[in-house]
Chain A
Amino acid sequence: MLTTVKCELKSFEDLARSFAAKELAANREENDRYPFGPFFDSVVTKAHEVGLLSATLPEECGGIGQDVGALCIILDHISAVDASLSGIIFTNALSQEIMLAAGNKDLLAGIMGKAADAKAALIACPSFANPSETGTTLTAVKVKDNYIINGAIEYVVLGGISGHALVPARIKGQEGYSFFLIDPADKGLNRSEPVFSLGLHSCPAVDLNMAGVVGTLIGQEGEGARYFDHAADRMHSAVAAMQCGIMKGSFNEALDYSQQRFQGGKEIINWSGLRMLLGQMAVQVKIAEMVLSEAAMAVENQEPQWNLYSRAASVHLSELACKLTTDGIQCLGGNGYMKDYGQEKRFRDAKHVQAFLGLAPMRKLGMIKSIVNG
């Protein structure tokens, strides 16, 4: 859908689709065993090599220089097969977007330039939290050119594998919060084992404990919320893209299965009860494609209220995806509940993705706040 609106995105669609088919499909179940199985290092390396990790990063920073539309296309097609990699791409892109919103192109260019491998190029961040909602317990104190950070922060996504991490901290004596770039190898930093979670198993998060960790300020003091809100508004369309992909994956698997599975003497697709369920899913998928496409274009074209379109898309497609993926399991009966099929993973992943960028219900309240305040 998005590629018919914007034809030049076709190459990204081809890239993401073939990458997903070649690199992700065969080992999906195995990769999902992380942290109780190995991490899919080689997949992340390849994703980095073909540019999936830097689609929206400007060319002068070493990225591909595309806008949100390309990112959405990529996430859509990757998520249809394995949303864990999408979680990595998303979190990294969110960190980049926050830094870009703060005008830190040079810093990004430096990170990309020096990165010897995929992991070194990754920037972790707590991509499920909106620090304005839940606050931050990290505090920063300025010491000469740098800041010293203390405290604990939960659920820093990619925090265990990335070359850098972006964290929100409150500068003592100030209102609001600021973002700081830290080195996960800093001696003052203690990190937990990967937090075992509902979905996106191979997009791991860790809890960090900091005692005197050195941080580089991103943008200006106290402006964290502004950068986050700007980046998050753009990235909500990326959340919608992930949900759209998950929905397509679940629908297609259900459609295939129901044409092969016999019950009551015929393929189950020929029972209209089941066909109605599939019909409902088909409607949801088509709506998702339309919504995603409109939202991504609104962001790219900076249309009036682009941020509301983007947020509405993520809220709505998250709700649809959570509904659709339970039906996706249901169509496969008992098999849908087993790890051998992708359906149970999609169900978990959709619910997991819904939690990106802060509490889902708060997003709706935030819409009204934006509309009323203009």
Chain B
Amino acid sequence: MITPKENKSLLEREPRFDDSYCSMQAIPKIPKSQLKETRILVSYARRFNDEVIRPLALKTDLKSFQDPEYLPWDLIQKVNEWGFYTLFIPKIFGGQGWAFTSLNYVIEELASACVGIANVVFVHYLGFVTMLGSWNISVINKVCREVKEGERTGNPCLISLAITEPGAGTDVEEVELVDRGRVTCFAEKVKGGYIVNGNKIFISMGHVSTWHALVAYTDLKKPSENTLMLAVKNGMKGFSFGKHEDKMGQRACPASELIFQDCFVPDENVLVDSRTVPPSQLRETGELVNQIIHYVVEASRPAVGAFGTGVARGAYEQALKFAGETAVDGKLLINHEWAQIMLAEMYKNVIAGRLAYCEANFSNSLKGGIFSFLQIKPVYYYMKYVPQAVIDIFIVPFYKTKLFNWFMRQVFVEGQSLEAQKRCSGWASIAKFMGTDMGMKNSQMAIEMMGQAGLRHEQGCEKILRDSKLLQIYEGTNQLNRLNLFNCLIARCIPQARVFEEE
């Protein structure tokens, strides 16, 4: 019917088949027992919602208004006891090694009960993924082993990500913008390490984390080619916490200022230094930095989409419950046809958000995606069934070897084609702004439906609205994510298209 050559060329037309049907391509290759894992994790998440999140969500929020300096230690302790902080850390780093691909489904569950507390759980993985993006196995291993130890001893050890600065938010999310931005976090090379000066702001869970994946620059004039990622630990001289932000919502999860004044960070804590990364066949230095950032956002933005989907679901569930219990104009709201249509619309919004993050997840499972290596069946089953002790004896000693790091780079850095990067990053952005826009829509609709009752704190619905708004801002504003989608998957259709070059 059609020759292979013709087939290829027709499918490469926009919308490109390979970029459009991620799930269809990914699912046949996914190890079967991953579905089982996801089912177990989702039910575990539901139990956690029943036993921990729902009883505490409103109380915690209220507490944070009574005491704006409140930090969620009590919650963190609980999350730690439930094992969430090591759940998705691979066994090769001492974690429980549950499939990372299940993360977003768990996120949706938790966020449907309280997205603020869900962030208390998952910001840690943003920090972890950022470290992972450096593929510096020995540092990642050191930090993760401490997380594990923190779980064992009951002294939680969490990781945060510190990139945003007072003068640069959007700019530090985009390599194409950062050279024009007003970045100030400067790292000067000295013997045995770096001296860091500058402030980071809005760092989620900053005050309560032990490790911080810090992005600093060795030359403020050309940050794109002089980017440094450091693993900074609490107690390092010259590192302190500043302001704890007074936010509209997600008040369970603090946003912190991190202050660096002549803070010495030893060489062994360098996760990646863009000036010393080995040359790549595919990418210039700036593009390598871009790749690291994109690796992080390829994982984190679909996760934020899942947060948004969870919020949309939480709002829908509140409205549904209310409609089933409340009489308006002499009959239950649920039996007004207009309310049924409104609830159906809200249900659809949840599905739309979910489909988008699922598809982004599957894009990450395809070749060149962050999950692809872990989903190769022998790798997956090896990691799943080989006992921790065996991994510790036969794999861990190799972390510091050049060969091992070379191998990781081959898989993850060189192994990701530019096309795959664009597909994953583009889908990540779609998932992010789709899910979070749905969250905002549904939380607005729920309050409209509930009227006066929806305004009351103890009903929970107004909190969902307050919590929801943040999701459209962090991990790149939704506008930036639209531009990133344009940049990744649309601009290529029109050779004259230029992004961020507007006069």
Q: Which residues of A contact B (CB under 8 A)?
A: 36, 126, 128-129, 132-135, 154-155, 195-199, 262-266, 271-274, 277, 322, 326, 329-330, 333-334, 336-340, 344, 347-348, 351-352, 354-355, 358-362, 365
Known: A134-B327, A263-B171, A265-B180. 14 other contacts (CB 8 A): A154-B452, A197-B455, A198-B466, A264-B171, A273-B483, A274-B479, A326-B440, A326-B469, A329-B469, A329-B473, A330-B473, A333-B170, A338-B248, A359-B448
Distance in Å: Cβ of A138 to nearest Cβ of chain B: 16
Contact flags B450-492 to A (C-beta < 8 A → 1, else 0): 0111111110001001100110111001110011000000000
Contact flags B362-403 to A (C-beta < 8 A → 1, else 0): 000000000000000000000000000000000000000000
Are A333 and B477 in contact, CB atoms less than 8 angstroms apart? yes
The winner among A132, A274, A355 for most chain B CB atoms within 10 A is A355
Stretch at the interface among B72-80, B114-122, B136-144, B161-169: B161-169
Cross-chain pairs A/B with CB under 8 angstroms, 7 sampled: A36-B65, A128-B452, A197-B462, A198-B462, A333-B473, A339-B248, A344-B248
Which one of B168, B342, B447, B456 lies within 8 Å of A263 (CB-CB)? Answer: B168
Which one of B164, B328, B456, B483 lies within 8 Å of A133 (CB-CB)? Answer: B328
Are A133 and B329 in contact, CB atoms less than 8 angstroms apart? yes
| Chain A residues in 8 Å Cβ range of B469 | 326, 329, 337, 344, 347
| Chain A residues in 8 Å Cβ range of B65 | 36, 196
B151-173 CB contacts (< 8 Å) to partner A? 164, 167-171
| Chain B residues in 8 Å Cβ range of A348 | 248, 462, 465-466
B351 at the interface (CB under 8 A from A): no
A167–B164 Cα gap in the complex (Å)? 51
| Chain A residues in 8 Å Cβ range of B180 | 264-266
| Chain A residues in 8 Å Cβ range of B472 | 326, 330
Distance in Å: Cβ of B194 to nearest Cβ of chain A: 26
| Chain A residues in 8 Å Cβ range of B329 | 132-133, 362
Contact flags B166-195 to A (C-beta < 8 A → 1, else 0): 011111000001001110000000000000
Which one of A36, A154, A340, A351 lies within 8 Å of B447 (CB-CB)? Answer: A351
Are B247 and A337 in contact, CB atoms less than 8 angstroms apart? yes
Are B452 and A339 in contact, CB atoms less than 8 angstroms apart? no
Which one of B164, B246, B455 lies within 8 Å of A338 (CB-CB)? Answer: B246
Contact status of A272 and B451, CB under 8 A, knowing A265-B180, A329-B469, A330-B477: no
Contact flags B429-455 to A (C-beta < 8 A → 1, else 0): 000000000001000100111011111
| Chain B residues in 8 Å Cβ range of A334 | 164, 169, 201-202, 255, 473-474
Q: Which residue of B lies closest to A271 (CB)?
A: B502
Distance in Å: Cβ of A242 to nearest Cβ of chain B: 15
B66 at the interface (CB under 8 A from A): yes
Distance in Å: Cβ of B385 to nearest Cβ of chain A: 44
B52 at the interface (CB under 8 A from A): no
Distance in Å: Cβ of A362 to nearest Cβ of chain B: 7
Q: Which residue of A lies closest to B58 (CB)?
A: A196
Are A264 and B177 in contact, CB atoms less than 8 angstroms apart? yes
Are A355 and B452 in contact, CB atoms less than 8 angstroms apart? yes
Are A262 and B327 in contact, CB atoms less than 8 angstroms apart? no
Contact status of A199 and B247, CB under 8 A, knowing A134-B328, A264-B177: no
| Chain A residues in 8 Å Cβ range of B339 | 361
Q: Which residue of A lies closest to B342 (CB)?
A: A361
The winner among A196, A273, A347 for most chain B CB atoms within 10 A is A196
| Chain A residues in 8 Å Cβ range of B477 | 330, 333
B62 at the interface (CB under 8 A from A): yes
Distance in Å: Cβ of A364 to nearest Cβ of chain B: 9
Distance in Å: Cβ of B92 to nearest Cβ of chain A: 35
| Chain B residues in 8 Å Cβ range of A154 | 452-453
The winner among A126, A197, A198, A360 for most chain B CB atoms within 10 A is A198
Are B455 and A198 in contact, CB atoms less than 8 angstroms apart? yes
A222–B469 Cα gap in the complex (Å)? 44
A36–B245 Cα gap in the complex (Å)? 17
| Chain A residues in 8 Å Cβ range of B470 | 337
| Chain A residues in 8 Å Cβ range of B326 | 134
Are A199 and B448 in contact, CB atoms less than 8 angstroms apart? no
| Chain B residues in 8 Å Cβ range of A264 | 170-171, 177, 180-181, 500
Q: Top 6 closest A-B pairs, CB basis? A: A265-B180, A198-B462, A344-B248, A128-B452, A339-B246, A196-B457
Distance in Å: Cβ of A27 to nearest Cβ of chain B: 15
Contact status of A360 and B500, CB under 8 A, knowing A128-B455, A197-B462, A355-B455: no
Distance in Å: Cβ of A297 to nearest Cβ of chain B: 28
Are A355 and B248 in contact, CB atoms less than 8 angstroms apart? no
A339–B64 Cα gap in the complex (Å)? 13
A338–B447 Cα gap in the complex (Å)? 22
Are A273 and B479 in contact, CB atoms less than 8 angstroms apart? yes
A100–B462 Cα gap in the complex (Å)? 34
Distance in Å: Cβ of A372 to nearest Cβ of chain B: 16
Q: Which residue of B lies closest to A332 (CB)?
A: B473
A263–B53 Cα gap in the complex (Å)? 38
Are A351 and B465 in contact, CB atoms less than 8 angstroms apart? yes
A361–B170 Cα gap in the complex (Å)? 37
| Chain A residues in 8 Å Cβ range of B478 | 330
Are A339 and B247 in contact, CB atoms less than 8 angstroms apart? yes
